[in-house]
Amino acid sequence: MTADGFTYPEVGATRDGRRPEGYRYLRERTRVGAGPEALRAAVDAVLDLRMHRALPVRVTASGPRAEPGVDVEVTVGVGPLRLRAPCRVVWTRRDERGGGFGYGTLAGHAMSGEESFAVDIDDDGAVWLTVTSFSRPATAAGRLAGPFGPLFQRLYARGCGIVLRRLVRRGPARP
């Protein structure tokens, strides 16, 4: 564990595009809309965690938006079958081409590694969500998951794209 509580040493690698050795990789890209309005709506939904909260999981966060240092916990299941995934935001980005954030695993997470959620607009005006991660089992539960761990991660990433597309169609958040 690192001095700041992360369970892996390559903190920030998803921002830099690095692929540390010894991990499984995931990259899932989904078109979520087109044009500047879709870009703004998508970036807002990612950074204010609406995308995560619209998934069929429980999300708690120590702040209202993804910002470095904010702790985010995703919980799935109920009772003794509940799985907790504690993470901390390590980076955020917002500029004229898009935005997003990456978070890294903390103690108690079944996996060890980092995941990012980045929204970008391409030269043709299409708006894309790209979910990238590198991870490896960190607990007995993570090891017991075997091939289901990566499958769950891929399904979660695809779910993010589906939900974000729906949020973008709905338009800007309403106060």
In this structure, is residue 5 part of a structural domain? Answer: no
In this structure, what CATH number is given to the domain that contains residue 27?
A: 3.30.530.20
In this structure, is residue 108 part of a structural domain? Answer: yes
Full domain range(s) for residue 60: 13-170
Closest CA to 131 of 106, 105, 154: 154
**Per-residue pLDDT tens for 127-151?**
999 999 999 987 667 666 667 777 7
Burial label for 43, CB within 10 Å (0-12, 13-18, 19+), is buried
Q: Can you name the residues that pair with 6 across neighbouring β-strands?
A: 106
Model-wide pTM > 0.95: no
Q: How many helices (H) does the chain have, and how many strands (E)? A: 5, 7
- Per the structure, the count of domains in the chain is 1
In this structure, is residue 138 part of a structural domain? Answer: yes
**Per-residue pLDDT tens for 72-122?**
999 987 777 778 899 999 999 999 999 999 999 999 998 899 999 999 999
When the pLDDT of each residue in the chain is averaged and rounded to a whole number, the result is 91
In this structure, is residue 6 part of a structural domain? Answer: no
In this structure, is residue 158 part of a structural domain? Answer: yes
For the chain, the maximum distance between any two Cα atoms, rounded to a whole number of angstroms, is: 48
Angle at 167 between CA 164 and CA 171, to 5 degrees: 135
DSSP state of 108: T
The more confidently predicted of residues 25 and 79 is 25
Angle separating helix axes 148-170 and 36-47, nearest 10 degrees: 130
56 phi and psi, to 5 degrees? -80, 60
Distance between first and last Cα of the chain: 39
